[in-house]
């Protein structure tokens, strides 16, 4: 049976909730391994200086209901400094071979600590050391200085990265804890646009919006989606 979410056109009557479509597109890109990092997305932040700044991150989970995605990063990085100044962010996924684009705008908040702990614990030792080793977005004197910094910090956890980055993990080494400055960011969607490539530039395009109201625990109460078909 063909998956209706993966049809070459959006249905005549627009779906009432775009998030399950977006989720299906992201899953399809991953299953088909259309690129080396099919879950990569561009995220744009705008800090106090009102200047937009874009970079790629990896979408590590997509929760269609109630409607947010998660990426992981260093909380001292430029992107997090900016999204703490201004939580409004924009995200774009694009898979050229599938002729699909997803645009999401919304509000970014840090993930609950226990969720970040769980994800960090699931990562391999090298990635865990990498999270401790790099002060992301801070100036760096040289590549050598970074290598030395990573090796020095790794040793504190009983990990020797001195030899060609082969990790030698000390026996009886306790689990590496998550750095307090590293974790997840949830992007709660207030606007979603789905775009499907058509012939002769007659693409299929629709945009949905809903209200987001922030709760004390950094979750959001969400309104119903309303969708509008747009000229391409
Ligand atoms: C394919 C790819 C995947 C990336 N994934 C992440 C990621 O998941 N998290 C992250 O913090 N940076 C990731 N980066 C690096 C970012 O693009 C960026 O260089 C870094 O986060 C610093 O950005 P900032 O100074 O604007 O905060 C990735 C880069 C590429 C090219």
Asked, for residue 103, whether it belongs to a domain, the answer is yes
Whether residues 140 and 34 share a domain: the answer is: no
157, 54: one domain: no
**Do residues 61 and 152 share a domain?**
no
Q: Do 221 and 128 belong to one domain?
A: no
Structure tokens at 51: 């200047």
Q: How far apart are CA 129 and CA 154, in angstroms?
A: 6
Index of the ligand 1 atom closest to the CA of residue 79: 27
In a shared domain, residues 112 and 205: yes
Query: Does 175 fall in a domain?
Result: no
Residue recorded with tokens 């201004």: 86
Q: Are residues 90 and 152 in the same domain?
A: no
Range of the domain at 36: 4-118+181-229
CATH number of the CATH domain containing 24: 2.30.110.10
Q: Residue 83 falls within a domain, yes or no? A: yes
In which residue are the tokens 């898979």 written? 95
53 CA from centroid of ligand 1 (Å): 12
Distance, in Å, from the CA atom of 199 to the CA atom of 114, rounded to the nearest integer, reads 47
Question: Is residue 176 a part of any domain in this protein?
Answer: no
What pLDDT score does 165 carry? 59
Phi, psi of 83 (to 5 degrees): -75, -15
158 burial type by CB count under 10 A (0-12 exposed, 13-18 middle, 19+ buried): middle
Same domain for 106 and 194: yes
19: in domain = yes
Same domain, 103 and 196: yes
Last residue of a domain, one of 131, 149, 169: 169
**Cα(220)–Cα(146) distance, integer angstroms:** 39
**Cis omega before residue 84 (within 30°)?**
no
Q: Which two tokens stand for residue 105?
A: 């705008």
Task: Compute the distance from residue 12 Cα to the ligand 1 centre, in Å.
Answer: 37
Question: 121 by DSSP, 3-state: which?
Answer: helix
CB 129 within 8 A of CB 157: yes
* 99 and 203 assigned to the same domain: yes
| Positive or negative torsion for Cα 28, 31, 33, 35 | positive
The answer to whether 14 and 227 are in contact (CB under 8 A) is yes
> DSSP strand E in 47-118: where?
52-63, 68-74, 88-95, 100-110
Question: What's the confidence (pLDDT) of residue 1?
Answer: 65
> Are 142 and 46 found together in one domain?
no
Q: Is residue 110 located within the same domain as residue 127?
A: no
Answer yes or no: is 127 within a domain.
Answer: yes
Task: Return the number of other C-beta atoms located less than 10 Å from residue 90's C-beta.
Answer: 17
Token readout for 119 is: 């994800």
Residue to probe by mutation, ligand 1, list 34, 55, 61, 111, most atoms within 8 Å of CB: 55
Q: Which tokens belong to 83?
A: 């999204």
Q: Is 119 helix (H, G, I), strand (E, B) or coil?
A: helix
- The pLDDT of residue 141: 95
Residues within 6 Å of ligand 1 by CB: 37, 40, 53, 55-58, 71-74, 77-79, 136-137
Give the count of domains, the chain. Answer: 2
Strand 159-160 vs strand 168-169: parallel, antiparallel, or unpaired?
antiparallel
- The reply to whether 75 and 34 lie within a common domain is yes
**What is the mean pLDDT, run by run of 10 residues, along the chain of 232 residues?**
88 95 97 96 98 98 98 98 98 97 98 98 93 95 94 90 64 82 98 96 96 97 98 96
β-pairing verdict for 159-160 and 68-74 = unpaired
In a domain, 174, yes or no: no
C-alpha distances in Å from residue 227, one per residue of 62, 105, 208: 20, 14, 4
Res 160: pLDDT: 84
What is the pLDDT, as a whole number, of residue 159? 87
């Amino acid at each position: 049976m063909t998956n209706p979410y993966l049809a070459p056109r959006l249905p005549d009557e627009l779906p009432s909730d775009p998030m399950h479509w977006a989720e299906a597109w992201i899953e399809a890109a991953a299953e088909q391994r259309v690129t080396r990092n099919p879950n990569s997305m561009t995220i744009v932040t705008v800090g106090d200086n009102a200047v937009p700044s874009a970079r790629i991150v990896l979408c590590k989970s997509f929760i269609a209901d109630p409607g947010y995605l998660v990426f992981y990063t260093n909380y001292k990085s430029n992107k997090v400094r900016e999204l703490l100044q201004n939580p409004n962010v924009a995200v774009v996924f694009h898979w050229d071979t599938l002729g699909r684009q997803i645009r999401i705008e919304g509000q970014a908040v840090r993930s609950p600590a226990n969720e970040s702990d769980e994800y960090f614990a699931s990562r391999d030792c090298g990635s865990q050391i990498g999270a401790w080793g790099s002060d992301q977005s801070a100036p760096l004197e040289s590549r050598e200085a970074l290598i030395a910094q990573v090796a020095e910090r790794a040793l504190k956890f009983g990990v020797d990265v001195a030899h060609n980055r082969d990790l030698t993990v000390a026996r009886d080494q306790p689990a590496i804890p998550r750095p307090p400055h590293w974790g997840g960011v949830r992007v709660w969607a207030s606007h979603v646009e789905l775009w499907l490539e058509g012939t002769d530039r007659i693409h299929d395009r629709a945009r949905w919006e809903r209200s987001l109201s922030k709760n004390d625990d950094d979750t959001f109460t969400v309104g119903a989606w309303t969708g509008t078909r747009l000229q391409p």
